[in-house]
Amino acid sequence: MVATDRAPYLLALRLAGRRVLIAGGGAVAARRVPALLDAGAEVVIVSPELSTVLHDLANAGRLRWAAREYASGDCAGAWLVCACTDDPGVNAAVAADADAAGIWCVRADDAGASRALTPASGQAGDVRVGVLSGDPRRSAGIRDALVGALTSGAVGTRRVRRRGGVALVGGGPGDPGLITVRGRALLAEADVVVADRLVPRSLLAELPPDVEVIDAAKIPRGRAMAQEYINSVLVSHAAAGRFVVRLKGGDPFVFGRGAEEVLACLRAGVPVTVVPGVSSAIAVPAAAGVPLTHRGLVQEFHVISAHVPPGDSRSTVDWAALGSSAATLVLLMATEHLGVIAAELIRRGRDPKTPVSVIADGTLPTQRDITSQLDAVARDAAKAGIRPPAVVVVGEVVTIAAQMAELRGSPANGAAGGMFLPEAGRVHGNGPEWGNDLLRRPAQ
Ligand SMILES: C[S@@+](CC[C@H](N)C(=O)[O-])C[C@H]1O[C@@H](n2cnc3c(N)ncnc32)[C@H](O)[C@@H]1O
């Protein structure tokens, strides 16, 4: 019998190289195994069958599988045992064997009969959180709240962390819910934030007052000089022992000059890390319901920087190849040259009636989009007052967005609506949810 009138003693196990025996190979085991593998445990599963996920891990050599029923004696050599079968009698036998052998055992089916308990665990940066409340759902909720608070900086870990160094963080397309968890956590640790124009501004507003925010968009110099100046700002703050987050729109390495900044830091001997971001090239079309690929329709897409138009001597874009292909084209920084680009694509072979979507302020509360076709898009965008930042999508996939909009607007699906509810309209921390809370703002 396990005495449940005494509070459990909380402990963390370093399991690297230690055997963990798991009885059962179903969904419960599949939930336990990844964290055990992450901890470096030598996982052995005894079960006549394995779930697909566990099967893949066994095939990849990540764990050992004994394809049979649990047998007395299987616990020998293990440091921890998890009884995860769907038969309480077997779980009880596993727990009794482990107990007799002096091995800690978690019974997944009956916490009250379990010697060891698995807390709801999570991680924010280098902080690990484990919660035991007696009610797994409540524990998970508290864990989520704690991890969220740590990640956002609401519960502070600043000042106990890294000294010096730079993190290039992709801020996502604009909605504050679309920065990565790691990016958010690093932001909460920053002493200095150097921010681009198209980053989620509300994240900056949340920073503590002692964090220095340098608005890179306001640096009053030419493009090249501004970049040199930004590089020197990153290096000098980091060299002075501050932790600098260079917050960039979208992904740092997609038309973001991120690599130049990484090279500048490395040349100056400054440690630098890169946190990928959700690029507007993919997220903005998605927020407007435009898939970049669609089975049977198109299986490739090209992302193009159109900051210089076709024909410009600085352009390295192969417009002839883009014009003759049927791939989806995703054009960034293209609004200014839309007419020239459309004419060039038509001249190079694209059908003038090819559908085009132009999406401005994607994922922001001010998001708006127009749907047109190549031979009319420049005029339609100008008429609708579309301004940068905008993403232009050329290709048949644009018609899928129209199909979605039609279905969403049908009585069977409730009110008319769009694709994406920006962060401003939701509880902080949630991401976009497809298929339920919809908000679309077509251009007037
Ligand atoms: C210099 S590029 C930077 C791209 C960024 N690194 C990324 O991965 O999204 C800036 C261009 O990205 C596009 N863009 C960025 N954010 C956008 C948004 N929220 N809505 C529409 N387009 C956006 C526009 O084409 C804008 O001119």
What is the best residue among 175, 179, 198, 335 to mutate for testing ligand 1's pocket, by most ligand atoms within 8 Å of CB? 198
CA gap 33, 57 in Å, rounded: 10
**pLDDT tens-place string over residues 311-358:** 899 999 999 999 999 999 999 999 999 999 999 999 999 999 999 999
pLDDT reported for residue 123 = 87
Reduced to 3 states, what is the DSSP secondary structure of residue 112? helix
Half-sphere exposure of 409 (CA within 13 A, CB side): 8
pLDDT confidence of residue 443: 43
Residues 6 or more apart from 178 whose CB is under 8 A from it?
Answer: 172, 200, 278, 283, 363, 423, 431, 432
- For residue 386 the two structure tokens come to 């579309």
pLDDT digit string, tens, across residues 178-195? 999 999 989 989 999 999
Instruction: Determine the atom of ligand 1 nearest the C-alpha atom of 392.
Output: 25
> Which uninterrupted H or E stretch holds 5?
none
Mean pLDDT along residues 164-170: 96
Q: What pLDDT sits at residue 25?
A: 97
Across 16-21, average pLDDT: 98
For ligand 1, atom 22, which residue shows the shortest CA distance? Answer: 390
* CA atoms 157, 211, 277, 227: torsion sign: negative
Identify whether the C-beta of residue 242 lies closer than 8 Å to the C-beta of residue 192: yes
At 439, phi and psi to the nearest 5?
-150, 120
Which residues have any ligand 1 atom within 6 Å of their CB?
173-174, 198, 249-251, 254-256, 279-281, 284, 332-333, 359-364, 388-391
Res 6 pLDDT > 80: yes
Angle at 215 between CA 214 and CA 220, to 5 degrees: 110
Residue type, 281: A
Percent of the chain past pLDDT 70, that is, above it, reads 89
Task: Let me know: does 113 contact 95? Beta carbons within 8 Å.
Answer: yes
Q: Output the DSSP codes for 248-314.
A: ESB-TTSSS-HHHHHHHHHHTT--EEEE----HHHHHHHHTT--S-BTTTB--EEEEE-SS-TT-TT
Place 426 in a pLDDT band, splitting at 50, 70 and 90. very low
Render pLDDT for 196-218 as a digit per residue (tens, 0 to 9): 989 998 899 888 889 999 988 76
pLDDT for residue 205: 85
Task: Find all residues with CB under 8 Å of 407, minimum gap 6, and list them.
Answer: 413
What distance in angstroms lies between residue 258's CA and the mean position of ligand 1's atoms? Answer: 14
- Model pLDDT, residue 46: 98
Q: Any idea which residue has 């963080």 for tokens? A: 169
pLDDT surpasses 70 at 162 = no
Nearest one of 277, 271, 236 to 253, comparing CA atoms? 277
Q: What was the pLDDT predicted at 435?
A: 33
- Given the structure tokens 């994240």, which residue do they identify? 203
Q: Which residues contact 56 (CB under 8 A, 6 or more apart)?
A: none
Burial bucket for residue 322 (CB in 10 Å: 0-12, 13-18, 19+) = buried
Cα separations (Å) of 33 from 23, 24, 155? 11, 11, 30
- Neighbour tally for 331: CB within 10 Å: 26
Predicted structure pTM score: 0.79
The residues carrying an active-site annotation are 196, 218
Q: Which atom of ligand 1 lies nearest, measured to the CA of 388?
A: 27
pLDDT on residue 158: 62
> Given this model, what pLDDT does residue 78 score?
98
For 122, which DSSP code?
A: E
Q: Choose among 368, 366, 375: nearest CA to 394.
A: 375
Expressed in angstroms and rounded, the spacing between residue 288 Cα and the centre of ligand 1 is 14
Top mutation candidate among 280, 361, 394, 420 for ligand 1, by most atoms within 8 Å of CB:
280
| Residue 124 binned pLDDT confidence (cut-offs 50, 70, 90) | confident
Candidate from 1-15, 29-43, 61-75, 287-301 with smallest mean pLDDT: 1-15
pLDDT at 148: 86
Question: Judging by DSSP bridges, how do beta strands 127-131 and 244-248 pair with one another?
Answer: unpaired
| Rounded-to-integer distance, Cα 263 and Cα 104, Å | 50
User: C-alpha 128: how far from its chain's center?
Assistant: 20
Task: Please name the amino acid found at residue 148.
Answer: G
Element counts in the chain: helices (H) and strands (E): 13, 17
Using the predicted structure, report yes or no on whether residue 224 has a pLDDT greater than 90.
no
What is the pLDDT of the chain when averaged over all its residues? 89
Query: Residue 249 pLDDT more than 70?
Result: yes
Burial class (CB in 10 A: 0-12, 13-18, 19+), 226: middle
3-state secondary structure of 82: strand
Band the pLDDT of 425: cuts 50, 70, 90: very low
Contact (CB, 8 A) for 279 and 171: no
